Amino acid sequence: MKLNGALLGKTDQNNLNDGYLGPTQTNYISQYAQYFVKYIKAFAAQGVTVNAITLQNEPLWSSSTYPTMYMYDYEQGQLIQYHIGPALAKAGLSTSIWAYDHNTDVPSYPQNVLNIARQYTSAVSWHCYAGNLDWSFMSDFRNKNPGVTQYMSECWTPPVGASNWFQAANFTIGLLQNWAAGVMAWGLATDASHGPHLPGGCTQCRGLVTINKDGTYTFNIAYYLMAQFSRFMPRSAVVLKGTGSSKNQNAAGIQSVATMNPDKTRTVVIMNTFTNDVYVTLNVTSGQPWSGNVLASSIVTWVLPAT
CA-to-CA dists, residue 252 to 71, 202, 242, angstroms: 39, 28, 19
Average pLDDT score over residue span 276-291: 89
The answer to whether the CB of 150 falls within 8 A of the CB of 126 is yes
The rounded distance, in Å, linking the Cα atoms of 302 and 293 is: 11
Beta strands in the chain (DSSP E): 52-54, 96-103, 121-127, 149-154, 180-183, 189-191, 209-211, 217-219, 238-240, 246-247, 253-260, 266-272, 278-282, 290-294, 298-304
Q: Whole-number mean pLDDT of the chain?
A: 87
CB neighbours of residue 94 within 10 Å: 10
CA distance 169 to 32: 37
Q: What would the DSSP string read from start to end of 282-299?
A: E--SSS--EEEEE-TTEE
pLDDT one-digit tens code per residue, 42-85: 999 999 999 999 999 999 998 888 888 889 999 999 999 999 99
Partnered with residue 302 across adjacent β-strands are 268
Structure confidence by residue, pLDDT tens digits, 134-192: 899 999 999 999 999 999 999 988 877 655 678 788 889 989 999 999 999 888 999 99
Name the packing angle between helices 108-117 and 136-144 (round to 10°).
20
Residue 257 confidence class, pLDDT cut points 50, 70, 90: very high
- For residue 12, what pLDDT is reported? 45
Radius of gyration of the chain (CA): 21
List pLDDT tens digits, range 126-143. Answer: 999 997 778 999 999 999
pLDDT band at 17 (very low <50, low <70, confident <90, very high): very low
Q: Are 169 and 221 in contact (CB under 8 A)?
A: no
| Residue 259 β-bridge partners | 239, 267
More confident residue, 201 or 106: 106
CA–CA distance, 192 with 26 (Å, rounded to integer): 43
Residues identified as active-site: 58, 154
Residue 243, pLDDT above cutoff 80? no
How confident is residue 22, by pLDDT bands cut at 50, 70 and 90? low
Per-range mean pLDDT, top range of 12-26, 119-133, 245-259? 119-133
pLDDT score of 268: 96
Contacts of 36 (CB under 8 A, 6+ apart): 53, 84, 87, 88, 95
Query: Of the ranges 32-36, 201-205, 224-228, 242-246, which one carries the lowest mean pLDDT score?
Result: 242-246
Question: What type of residue sits at position 91?
Answer: A
Domains and CATH numbers, the chain: 1-143 (3.20.20.80), 155-231 (no CATH), 236-307 (no CATH)
* Per-residue pLDDT band at 18 (split at 50, 70, 90): very low
User: Is the CA virtual torsion 216, 152, 180, 104 positive or negative?
Assistant: positive
